[in-house]
Structure 1
Amino acid sequence: MFILLLIILCIFFILYLKFKNYVPILMYHRIADIPSDRNALPKEKFAEQLEYLSTHNYHTITPEQLYNHFINKAKLPKNPVLLTFDDGYQDNYLEALPLLKKYNMTAVVFPIYNWIGKPNKWENFGKQETTTMNLAELKSWLHHGLDIQPHTADHPFLTQCNEEKLNLEIIDTKTKFEKLLDKPMDYLCYPYGFFNQQVINIVKKANYKMAFAIFENVPLWHINLFALPRIPIPSHQKMWEFKLKVSSIHIIFVAMRKWERQFKQLKNKFK
């Protein structure tokens, strides 16, 4: 019995050493009450989540802080968490920003260059039409001390793009964003979380420092700065589950989604 307990403790210690440097990176999309959209989190739930982070001594960080932690061993605040918003919906500005300011928190939004200030026509699969943040709202977002980083030009599946298209989506878009907002663009967000080695090579060629994925193809046993896993926060998010997603075992959620996807792919292969 003692030997078994010792083995279990050793396993937990090894897992702790492996995953202790991971920081919870939460992935949001819309902040709106849209029952048919799993990526639209009601404002009240978002407020509840920020209240929990605030009262339990969590500290939101920037991509730059995370990068310096990984590369320069810079110390992070206690209980760090990175909040990310994909696509740059206008409700991020109208609903999320006031709450972030209320709780003195920061976040990064990833807008799509060619869809700034336009209806979400790229989501041509039954999504409710809405609008993205316009240039004035993006500049105001920056003025309030929050960050903006690229989410490509048109939100394609990068793994289906040829090299010319990848250069346009990744390299040219970086330059355009830097001119538009007069700030460095060092952190890319992969549309749909999809990437491969060819994509990573061009991301590195563009001199990005890091890139954010979701769970597809991300490594679990080491940190790859160009394949950082994020944890989706869906519309039906339960608070007990949210608490676990920002805890020291948050990487388990990434692993579960990764293994679930791999199982489905294997199952489909043998149908």
Structure 2
Amino acid sequence: MLHRPAPVAAVSRKIMRVRFGVPVLMYHLVSDDVPAAFRDYTVTPRQFAGHVRTLRQFDYHSISPDDLLAARERRRPLPPRPVVITFDDGFRDCLRHAAPLLHDAGLGATMYVVAGLLGKTSRWMEPEGVDLPLVSVAEARELEQAGIACQSHALTHPSLARLGTPRIARELSESRRVLEDELGHEIRHLAYPHGSFDDRVRAEAEQAGYLSACTTQPGKVLPSDDALALPRVKIEGREGPADFLTRLVTGRHLGHPVRRQPSSRRR
């Protein structure tokens, strides 16, 4: 059997990811009130409206994490130009600004909420001087009625890979229990807080019953990707419309090369 050299295989995989991967968009805060320390993670309602227009203009179809898994397992096909729209943390302003725009455009989304802080504030950001209101249980239910399904972002938003294994297990299992009790449906999907995960965290996520988990690693999702370590496409507030379209199409920021030119020097 012939094997492609590793660099060639890596380049081929990058090209496959750009051409055939599914973009899983990663948002955080949608608000006119932009905290300086959270600028990269905040898009204004006007910016978000532009993103929604772009998705509709290019005929993207929103899908859920369940749809993505079903397609990966060949249980049902994806629509043309699929996109998964996700929000981390569960900020209340997303209910006010993002949900109506998505609903009016006929697009669905997933919000990963911090189960132990529903109705409270983003305490994990207090050292940076940022303390933002999070959706309550009632508001999470309102989001779901508007087409934004709530899933897990752990219990208290820690960096999971820095914790001992028993604490990791509690963060993940208790988050599922709380959300299932409050929202009345199965919690199957997770986003790792801070993008923090390792082999232990992944194993505990699987043990806790999650079927997929999103990271902050950049790129579009391929069927061969680990379902408990899915890459996403970060959406940054400092970027403009061309940057958004580039990230949507390539999974990377404007100017990121699909492949590196080989160096003329060896080291």
What TM-score bracket applies, with the shorter chain setting the length?
0.7 to 0.9
Runs of 4+ in 1 over 3 A off after TM superposition: 10-21, 218-222
Supply the distance in 2 between the matched residues of 1:129 and 1:13 (Cα, whole angstroms): 43
Hey, what does 2:212 align to over in structure 1? 210
* CA-CA distance at 1:145 after TM superposition: 2.8
Supply the distance in 2 between the matched residues of 1:195 and 1:165 (Cα, whole angstroms): 13
Q: Which moved more, 1:77-86 or 1:128-137?
A: 128-137
Supply the distance in 2 between the matched residues of 1:107 and 1:113 (Cα, whole angstroms): 18
Among 182, 190, 193, which residue is 2:195 paired with?
A: 193
* CA-CA distance at 1:47 after TM superposition: 0.2
* SS class of match (1:149): strand
Supply the distance in 2 between the matched residues of 1:132 and 1:190 (Cα, whole angstroms): 17
Equivalent residues of 1:141, 1:147 under 8 A apart: yes
**For residues 111-130 of structure 1, what are the structure 2 equivalents within 5 Å?**
111-130=113-132
Supply the distance in 1 between the matched residues of 2:130 and 2:45 (Cα, whole angstroms): 17
**How many positions carry a matched residue from both structures?**
246
Letter in 1 for 2:25: L
The structure with higher relative contact order (CA 8 Å, sep 6+) is 2
Identity %: 25
Supply the distance in 2 between the matched residues of 1:69 and 1:126 (Cα, whole angstroms): 40
Supply the distance in 1 between the matched residues of 2:29 and 2:80 (Cα, whole angstroms): 28
Q: Which runs of 5+ in 2 are unaligned?
A: 1-8, 258-267
Supply the distance in 1 between the matched residues of 2:53 and 2:206 (Cα, whole angstroms): 37
Deviations 1:147-190 (A, max 9, x none): 11000011001001111101110112212211111101111110
Supply the distance in 2 between the matched residues of 1:185 and 1:164 (Cα, whole angstroms): 20
Equivalent residues of 1:219, 1:227 under 8 A apart: no
Supply the distance in 2 between the matched residues of 1:135 and 1:53 (Cα, whole angstroms): 29
Equivalent residues of 1:115, 1:154 under 8 A apart: yes
What's the TM-score once normalised by structure 1's chain length?
Answer: 0.83
Hey, what does 1:229 align to over in structure 2? 231
Deviations 1:42-78 (A, max 9, x none): 1100000100111111111111101111112521111
Supply the distance in 2 between the matched residues of 1:17 and 1:42 (Cα, whole angstroms): 32
* CA-CA distance at 1:21 after TM superposition: 4.5
* SS class of match (1:105): coil
**For residues 1-271 of structure 1, what are the structure 2 equivalents within 5 Å?**
15-17=14-16, 20-33=19-32, 34=34, 36=36, 37-215=39-217, 222-247=224-249, 249-250=250-251, 252-253=252-253
Indicate the RMSD between aligned Cα atoms, in angstroms.
2.8
* CA-CA distance at 1:224 after TM superposition: 1.0
CA 1:18–1:245: 2 relative to 1, 3 Å: closer
Structure whose residues are more often strand by fraction: 2
What's the TM-score once normalised by structure 2's chain length?
Answer: 0.84
